[in-house]
Amino acid sequence: MRYKTDFTPIQATTRSFVQQVLPGRRIVLSGDVLGSRGIITYDFTSYGPKTVVSATEVFAETDSDYRNYVISSTTQRLLTVLLRGLKNHIENMGHKARGAHA
């Protein structure tokens, strides 16, 4: 995956590998980005008709304070955008399903 958006100071390219899939509960990916090894975990928690998705990303420290800052700030912004996109996608699926049954 290549990340280059308005909020990323540099283009980041990652190659992610699926480490774990627990349908409806958890997805774990790992990969290298900006010289650091990262693991991202998406957890899905059901609350009645709603599902809360939380994302946690952990990176190994690098030898550069600037690189550590870039990884941290870029990851926070990227996860926010990704989770917003996931939320919109799932909500649109629900609207389409309700429209088909109407």
* Cα-based torsion angle of the residue sequence 46, 87, 24, 72 in order, rounded to the nearest 10 degrees: -100
Please answer whether residues 58 and 76 qualify as being in contact, where contact means their C-beta atoms are separated by less than 8 angstroms: no
Whether residue 98 is predicted with pLDDT greater than 60 in this model: the reply is yes
Whether pTM > 0.75 for this model: the answer is no
Spell out the residues 6+ positions from residue 26 whose beta carbon is closer than 8 angstroms to its own.
20, 41, 42, 43, 44
Q: What is the pLDDT of residues 44-78, one digit of tens each?
A: 999 888 888 888 878 776 677 777 777 777 777 77
Question: How far apart (Å, rounded) are the C-alpha atoms in residues 70 and 10?
Answer: 9
Query: What integer best gives the mean pLDDT of the chain?
Result: 76
pLDDT, residue 27, reads 92
Enumerate the domain spans of the chain. Answer: 2-101
Question: How far apart (Å, rounded) are the C-alpha atoms in residues 77 and 71?
Answer: 10
Spell out the residues 6+ positions from residue 78 whose beta carbon is closer than 8 angstroms to its own.
3, 5, 7, 8
Question: How far apart (Å, rounded) are the C-alpha atoms in residues 80 and 95?
Answer: 23
Categorize the per-residue pLDDT at 7 as very low, low, confident or very high, splitting at 50, 70 and 90: very low
Categorize the per-residue pLDDT at 91 as very low, low, confident or very high, splitting at 50, 70 and 90: confident
Whether residue 94 is predicted with pLDDT greater than 50 in this model: the reply is yes
pLDDT, residue 100, reads 63
For range 18-38, the mean pLDDT: 86
